[in-house]
Amino acid sequence: MNRTVTLCCVLLTLAVAVCAQEGGRRPVRDAALGTGELPLKHDGKIETKYDGFNHEMVVALEKMNITCEAVRGFQSRFKGVCVSLQASLHCPGKQLDYVRHATIRLTFEAKDWDARHPLGQRDLTAVADGETIRLGRMTLVSQGVGEGWLAENMKETLEVSIPYASFLKLARAAYVEMSVGKTIFAMREKNIAALRDMNNRVKLPPPAAAGTAQTGGGN
């Protein structure tokens, strides 16, 4: 009888230890998915502020370089093209518990004015860890000449509003490639880390509800 009681106590102790160990691992997994508070290293600048005109809290990533090398096209490569990223999360009211939508803004600067994106070539598509995500048609924010060493060169800024669920897929991916029309480029690890850091600034719902409660459309 004593041996049976002792054996039960040992098994119970082992079960408690295993549960505690598994519980200790979860925050690391959540942080890797962008839902924890683990600091992420990147060169981007992120600001959280209240927009009184639109009555919303905005978590915004300032302009961040993606590449200043050749970008791929379907039939050629454009050399000397600089691609920059800006992004923002929009939370209605003075709260960070619910994200209505996200905004992606891309700026292209190049010597070749043929690198511009006409109206029919502004569809933004991302491939995140092998999954193709169609993010919609971008709108033209501005188009003109560049600044500094890119003066007299083409400068074009495009923007699109996307569902928060799509933003989450980008922020949680290990590899992201984007295409706008015929222009194809890959995001750097620090770009993805910046998106993940943005996501850490909002108060997320439990993982089971993240895919359903925050799928607001791009308005």
Enumerate residues 6+ apart whose C-beta is below 8 A from 17. Answer: none
CA dist list (Å): 115 to 67, 69, 105, 144, 152: 15, 13, 17, 13, 14
Higher pLDDT pick, 16 / 189? 189
Query: Which helix (H) or strand (E) segment is 209 a member of?
Result: helix 207-213
Enumerate residues 6+ apart whose C-beta is below 8 A from 205. Answer: 97, 213, 214
Taking only the tens place, the pLDDT of each residue in 163-206 is 999 999 999 999 999 999 888 999 999 999 999 999 999 976 65
- pLDDT at site 74: 43
- pLDDT at site 143: 75
Owner of token pair 């102790």 = 13
- pLDDT at site 109: 86
pTM of the model: 0.70
Using the 8-state DSSP alphabet, how is residue 151 labeled?
B
Q: Could you tell me the two tokens for 152?
A: 């007299």
Determine how β-strand 176-180 pairs with β-strand 123-128. antiparallel
Could you tell me the pLDDT band of residue 75, with boundaries at 50, 70 and 90? Answer: very low
Taking only the tens place, the pLDDT of each residue in 137-158 is 999 998 776 555 545 677 899 9
Instruction: Please count the residues of the chain.
Output: 219
Q: Could you tell me the two tokens for 144?
A: 């003109």
Lowest mean per-residue pLDDT among 1-15, 115-129, 187-201: 1-15
Report the candidate in 180, 69, 71 with the shortest Cα–Cα distance to residue 127: 180
CA dist list (Å): 92 to 34, 53, 57, 89, 202: 21, 11, 6, 10, 12
* Amino acid identity for residue 146 in this structure: G
